[in-house]
Amino acid sequence: MSASAVSAPARTLLSVLESLREFMNAALTGSIHEENRLHYDKLATDAIDSARATVNGQVPELRYFAVSGRIPGDDEDTTLVVEASDRDAAIALFSDELWDGQGSVDDRQRVEDGHGTDTYVNSIVASDHPIEVL
């Protein structure tokens, strides 16, 4: 796909992501631990950088990651396969997927306050080829 074919959608995405980062900073300042705010800001920054690279005709390379872990307090581990640009992005996607439908942002924050993290990660496997969890 040529750079011109993705420029308009990528430019729109870039604009939305930049606005989202500004919103997150304004909304979360003071209401969430600094470590988490920095984590979410890094995710937004990484997404903006990826969109900017796409606008400039560079397509960021994604890898497959099999991530295993659990929400603190749960008894069973979960393994999910995600596509991400790096280890940190894979962990963030894994964590968000685990928490999807599990409770509110306040619940997630309470778990982090009590355990020092909102998600325990036991293992990460990366591959350039699709991974199948059996």
Which CATH number is associated with domain 61-129? 3.10.20
Please give the angle made by the CA atoms of 116, 30 and 50, to the nearest 5 degrees.
75
Please name the residue ranges forming H helices in the chain: 3-28, 34-55, 87-99, 105-115
* 66-111 residue pLDDT tens: 999 999 988 899 999 998 888 888 898 899 899 887 877 788 888 8
CA distance 7 to 29: 32
Averaged over 45-63, what is the pLDDT?
A: 72
Res 120: pLDDT: 94
Res 14: pLDDT: 66
pTM, two decimals, is 0.57
DSSP label of 104: -
Of 8-17, 36-45, 82-91, least confident by mean pLDDT is: 8-17
Higher pLDDT, 49 or 15: 49
β pairing state of 78-84 and 120-127: unpaired
> Residue 60: is its pLDDT beyond 70?
no
Of 19, 50, 25, the closest CA to residue 40 belongs to: 25
Question: Strand ranges (DSSP E) for 37-129?
Answer: 63-70, 78-84, 120-127
Of 84, 75, 71, 63, the closest CA to residue 111 belongs to: 71
DSSP label of 118: S
- The ranges assigned to domains in the chain are 1-60, 61-129
Res 9: pLDDT: 59
